[in-house]
């Protein structure tokens, strides 16, 4: 292998841009062939034919697994890892070196048109799911590209809009999941997003691509652009981008001119080249060859897609009508049952190897033909009889149970545009109303890539959230409805009662000046819980055909420090408690085997910083037979408990009384326990700009005030009303009211000499 110094500079510059839309350049001098990059993330979308164009035309058949919107509802990273392994096998069979995914941007608004490609409104869940996917794909010698980094939370004006986010919110909500997935799973590549972040394009953002990604997270792979996200390759390379996709000859020539003019350091080119070459060699070393005839197991992968869909379906409501018995006279209504909506629209569209539909799958289960009425149009170009609505209502009046398939077509949600409403199409809502007028036994099955409003939710007997369930989703839905599978999916996003209740609603999607993330830390369930806003279905919710009881909660503090830099004194003994181990016993109290997702939420009511009431800090999925009890152990790390201190520019665990809540959703919390953590916040010396309240929190200062006689301090020590009035006043202001400046400074010197602790240091 030739040394990098022997590679011509021209070849290094060439490798920092694509050869075409889907290939990297070959470097003959390094013995490096071209490598195929292609769209994921829930299937391999390898374009059929010439790769020199962007078109979303027919792709080579591959397994269409459930997209992230469904995968996340499984709350099972190990299951997602199995999907990743299968995707890696298909990439190998099709000659793909890097799969563009997973997508893991936070679902800030249910209106985002690309939410079907993203996991959750919570960074902990998003990070865990993405890590599983990355590890699965890369175990097969194929690279991943975690995307879109960062703060790409809408499609409206996505290539220009400025995401304006304060640093703490950015780190705790929008970067935290990326950091977790990148540090744990080490994706070979990261894809930067189109948008600006606080005024700077992501592709040109040195703080994002170098300081955070490489400096703080230790990332060693290469950074590529989203397709067309680079505006100036020279500026992007200096910022930390390595590969511009797709081909852009003008940018390549501009980079050559900049190098000749001294506008870019040759070391920057060398560094980008080295990162790209290192990853591409991993691809080459891991390649098993697309033409070896091995292919992939189409049937096994279809079966896996069905099993994953089964675990991802969420039973939202059920009054006992489900599961259906096979001898119940059922009518199926809704074109989605016959012509399924099973994946999102846009660059991730997969050409499935086969496709199940729910109608045929129901008929296979009951053993005979089931009466069906399409009811409404689901896609542009579709035609139905003028009386299709009336036919559906008539069918509903003739059966015992009407199973109605509703949802959103590709006209309503897709990459490239955001929704303007959370409503289902009006013709579908009208049909449900008319069906309920003739039959109260209605089961609704949904097909949608993001949350929709459910005004009929309390009037139908059951609602099954199928999301977009992949190519085998029809069979999975039928098995859940008839009880061949016990549903265990849990919501990875809140379903509100009104669009106006969404915490980001008044700021989304912004305007030409940018989009302000004005809700701050209060995205998703955090915001609903902080304002105690009623919701249709809370984050983490999902019913089962069995029931579960929780008992025996124990929470044990653990010594250690958070992962960020801290100025806590090294000689502190014992070390601070900054993490916790949680154990709870879960019992299946029903008559069916089933799976439960145990969720741990943590709050700090007396926090000194702005906090949400509770945040997801751990989870585990367990499968139980009827009557079986199992202990579930979950560790909440210091890293996950830490908040970002803007003042200290560090991750810190605040000391205090933490409330640990365990249950089945964010609003179905069965057990709780309070535990004291000492935290690892550094002690900050008191100054004349410290407030009276901050000073009184120090025992040495408080004791001196309590013993003071006369003057302002005498009043403070004796009069609680005075304390309340002056508690937020800086000591310099209090000194200005009297002649106590020297006395106060002397007391501060005394306190600071103790290191903030009573007694000798």
Hey, which residues are catalytic here? 226
Residue 172 carries which DSSP code? I
How would you write 426-490 as a 3-class SS string?
HHHHHHHHHHHHHCCCEEEEEECCCCCCCCCCCCCCEEEECCCCCCCHHHHHHHHHCCCCCCCCC
Query: Cis omega before residue 246 (within 30°)?
Result: yes
Distance, in Å, from the CA atom of 59 to the CA atom of 36, rounded to the nearest integer, reads 14
Distance, in Å, from the CA atom of 475 to the CA atom of 358, rounded to the nearest integer, reads 6
Beta carbons within 8 Å of 421's beta carbon, 6+ residues apart: 111, 499
Query: What is the distance, to the nearest Å, from the Cα of residue 450 to the centroid of all Cα atoms in its chain?
Result: 13
Q: Which two tokens stand for residue 566?
A: 């801290």
- Strand 143-149 to 98-100 pairing: parallel
Distance, in Å, from the CA atom of 584 to the CA atom of 631, rounded to the nearest integer, reads 6
Burial degree of 230 (CB within 10 A; 0-12, 13-18, 19+): buried
Question: CA dist 444 to 403, 456, 500, 528, Å?
Answer: 6, 9, 24, 26
Question: Dihedral of the CA atoms 180, 186, 192, 193 (nearest 10)?
Answer: -40
Q: Which two tokens stand for residue 612?
A: 């949400």
Count of C-beta atoms within a 10 Å radius of residue 265: 12
Q: Which two tokens stand for residue 213?
A: 């990604």
Q: Is 505 helix (H, G, I), strand (E, B) or coil?
A: helix
Burial degree of 261 (CB within 10 A; 0-12, 13-18, 19+): exposed
Distance, in Å, from the CA atom of 663 to the CA atom of 604, rounded to the nearest integer, reads 18
Residue 322 carries which DSSP code? P
| Contact between residue 674 and residue 739 where contact means Cβ atoms under 8 Å apart | no
| Contact between residue 15 and residue 245 where contact means Cβ atoms under 8 Å apart | no
Distance, in Å, from the CA atom of 404 to the CA atom of 402, rounded to the nearest integer, reads 6
Give the H/E segment covering residue 738: none
Question: CA dist 109 to 113, 316, 615, Å?
Answer: 10, 20, 18
Burial degree of 38 (CB within 10 A; 0-12, 13-18, 19+): buried
Distance, in Å, from the CA atom of 541 to the CA atom of 538, rounded to the nearest integer, reads 6
Residue 212 carries which DSSP code? I
> Beta partners for 331?
402
Give ∠ CA 632-634-636 in degrees, rounded to 5.
Answer: 165
């Amino acid at each position: 292998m030739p040394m990098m110094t022997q590679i011509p500079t021209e070849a290094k510059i060439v490798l920092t841009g694509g050869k075409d839309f889907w290939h990297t350049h070959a470097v003959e001098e390094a013995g490096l062939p071209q490598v195929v990059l292609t769209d994921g993330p829930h299937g391999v979308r390898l374009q059929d034919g010439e790769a020199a164009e962007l078109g979303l035309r027919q792709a080579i058949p591959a397994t269409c697994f459930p997209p992230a919107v469904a995968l996340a509802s499984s709350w099972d990273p190990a299951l997602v890892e199995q999907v990743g392994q299968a995707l890696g096998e298909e990439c190998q069979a099709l000659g793909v070196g890097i799969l563009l995914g997973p997508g893991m941007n936070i679902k800030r608004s249910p209106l985002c048109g690309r939410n079907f490609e993203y996991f959750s409104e919570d960074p902990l869940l998003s990070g865990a799911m993405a890590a599983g996917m990355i590890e699965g794909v890369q175990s097969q010698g194929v690279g991943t590209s975690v995307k879109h980094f960062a703060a790409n939370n809408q499609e409206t004006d996505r290539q220009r809009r400025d995401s304006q986010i304060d640093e703490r919110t950015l780190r705790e909500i929008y970067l935290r999941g990326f950091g977790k997935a990148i540090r744990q799973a080490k994706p070979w590549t990261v894809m930067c997003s189109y948008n600006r972040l606080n005024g700077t394009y992501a592709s040109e953002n040195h703080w994002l691509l170098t300081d955070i990604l490489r400096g703080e997270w230790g990332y060693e792979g290469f950074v590529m652009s989203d397709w067309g996200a680079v505006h100036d390759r020279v500026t992007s390379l200096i910022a930390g981008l390595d590969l511009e996709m797709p081909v852009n000859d003008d940018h390549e020539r501009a980079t050559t001119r900049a190098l000749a003019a001294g506008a870019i350091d040759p070391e920057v080119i060398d560094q980008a080249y080295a990162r790209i070459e290192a990853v591409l060699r991993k691809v080459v070393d891991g390649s098993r060859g697309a033409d070896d005839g091995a292919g992939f197991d189409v049937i096994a992968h279809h079966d896996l897609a069905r099993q994953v869909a089964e675990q991802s379906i969420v039973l939202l409501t059920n009054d006992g009508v489900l599961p259906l018995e096979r001898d119940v006279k059922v009518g199926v209504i809704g074109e989605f049952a016959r012509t399924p909506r099973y994946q999102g629209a846009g660059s991730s569209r997969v050409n499935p190897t086969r496709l199940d539909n729910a109608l045929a799958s129901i008929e296979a289960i009951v053993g005979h033909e089931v009466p069906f009425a399409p009811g409404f149009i689901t896609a542009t170009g579709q035609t139905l009889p003028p009386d299709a609505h009336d036919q559906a209502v008539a069918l509903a009046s003739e059966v015992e149970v009407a199973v109605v398939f509703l949802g959103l077509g590709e006209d309503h949600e897709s990459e490239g545009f955001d929704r303007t409403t959370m409503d289902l199409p009006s013709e579908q809502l009208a049909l449900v109303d008319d069906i309920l007028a003739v039959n109260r036994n209605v089961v609704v099955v949904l097909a949608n890539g993001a949350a929709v409003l459910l005004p009929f939710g309390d009037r139908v007997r059951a609602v099954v959230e199928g999301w977009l369930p992949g190519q085998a989703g029809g069979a999975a839905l039928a098995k859940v409805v008839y009880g061949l599978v016990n549903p265990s999916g849990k919501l990875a996003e809140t379903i509100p009662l009104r669009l106006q209740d969404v915490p980001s609603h008044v700021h989304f999607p912004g305007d030409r000046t940018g989009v302000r993330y004005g809700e701050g830390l209060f995205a998703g369930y955090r915001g609903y819980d902080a304002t105690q806003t009623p919701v249709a279905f809370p984050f983490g919710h999902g019913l089962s055909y069995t029931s579960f009881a929780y008992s025996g909660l124990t929470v044990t503090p653990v010594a250690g420090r958070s992962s960020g830099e801290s100025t806590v004194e090294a000689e502190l003994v014992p070390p601070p408690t900054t993490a916790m181990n949680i154990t709870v016993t879960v019992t299946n109290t029903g008559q069916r085997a089933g799976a439960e997702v145990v969720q741990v939420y943590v709050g700090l009511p007396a926090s000194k910083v702005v906090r949400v009431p509770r945040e997801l800090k751990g989870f585990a999925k367990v499968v139980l037979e009827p009557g079986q009890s199992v202990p579930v152990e979950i560790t909440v790390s210091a890293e996950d408990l830490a908040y970002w201190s803007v003042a200290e520019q560090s991750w810190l665990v605040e000391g205090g009384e933490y409330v640990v809540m365990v249950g089945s959703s964010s609003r179905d919390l069965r057990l709780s326990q309070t535990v004291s953590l000492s935290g690892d916040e550094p002690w900050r010396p008191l100054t004349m700009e410290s407030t009276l309240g901050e000073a009184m929190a120090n025992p040495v200062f408080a004791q001196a005030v309590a013993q003071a006689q006369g003057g302002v301090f005498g009043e403070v020590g004796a009069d609680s009303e005075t304390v309340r009035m002056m508690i937020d006043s800086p000591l310099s202001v209090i000194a200005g009211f009297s002649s106590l400046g020297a006395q106060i400074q002397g007391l501060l010197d005394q306190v600071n000499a103790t290191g903030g602790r009573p007694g000798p240091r």
